[in-house]
Homo-oligomer: A and B are copies of this chain.
Amino acid sequence: MGRLRFLTAGESHGPEMVAILEGFPAGVPLLAADVDVDLARRQRGYGRGGRMKIEHDQVHFSSGVRGGETLGSPIAMVIQNRDHERWTAHMSAAPFEIAPNPMTRPRPGHADLAGAIKYDRRDMRDVLERASARETAARVAAGAVCKKLLSLLGIDVFAHVLAIGAAHVPRTELPLAEIRTRSRASDLACFDAEAEEQMREQIRLAAHAGDSVGGLFEVIATGVPPGLGSHVSWDRKLDGRIAQALMSIQAIKGVELGPAFEVSRRNGSAAHDPIHYNDDTRSFTRPTNWAGGLEGGITNGMPLVARAAMKPISTLKKALPSVDVTTKRPFDAAFERSDVCAVAAASVVGEAMLALVLADALVEKVGGDSLRELRRNLDGYLTQVREF
Contacts and interface: CB of A to CB of B under 8 A. Distances in A.
A131 B290 CA distance: 19
Contacts of A377: 366-368, 376-377, 380
Contact of A265 (B9, B15, B214, B328): B214
Nearest to A99: B67
A369 B284 CA distance: 20
Contact of A261 (B26, B206, B254, B301): B254
Interface string A221-247: 000001100111111110111111111
A120 B372 contact: yes
B247 A255 contact: yes
A49 interface: no
Contacts of A301: 114
Contact of A364 (B206, B245, B367): B367
B266 A370 contact: no
B74 A215 contact: no
A64 B9 contact: yes
A103 B36 CA distance: 31
A216 interface: yes
B11 A116 contact: no
A253 B230 contact: no
B366 A114 contact: no
B267 A9 contact: no
A118 interface: yes
A198 to B, nearest CB: 13
A9 B268 contact: no
A130 interface: yes
A313 B121 contact: no
Interface stretch (A50-58, A173-181, A271-279): A271-279
A367 B367 contact: yes
B364 A384 contact: no
A62 interface: yes
A303 interface: no
Given A264-B214, A367-B367, A254 B257 contact: yes
Contact of A367 (B7, B260, B368): B368
B367 A310 contact: no
A334 interface: no
A248 B239 contact: yes
A3 B297 CA distance: 17
Contact of A7 (B74, B92, B312): B74
A249 B243 CA distance: 12
A256 B257 contact: no
A126 B254 contact: no
Contact of A318 (B8, B269, B292, B296): B269
20 contacts: A9-B75, A26-B120, A31-B94, A66-B129, A67-B93, A67-B96, A72-B119, A110-B295, A118-B298, A212-B268, A235-B244, A240-B245, A243-B255, A253-B257, A266-B312, A268-B311, A271-B311, A274-B320, A365-B369, A377-B380
Given A260-B309, A284-B323, 8 more contacts: A7-B22, A18-B76, A27-B120, A109-B291, A112-B296, A119-B370, A120-B384, A209-B267
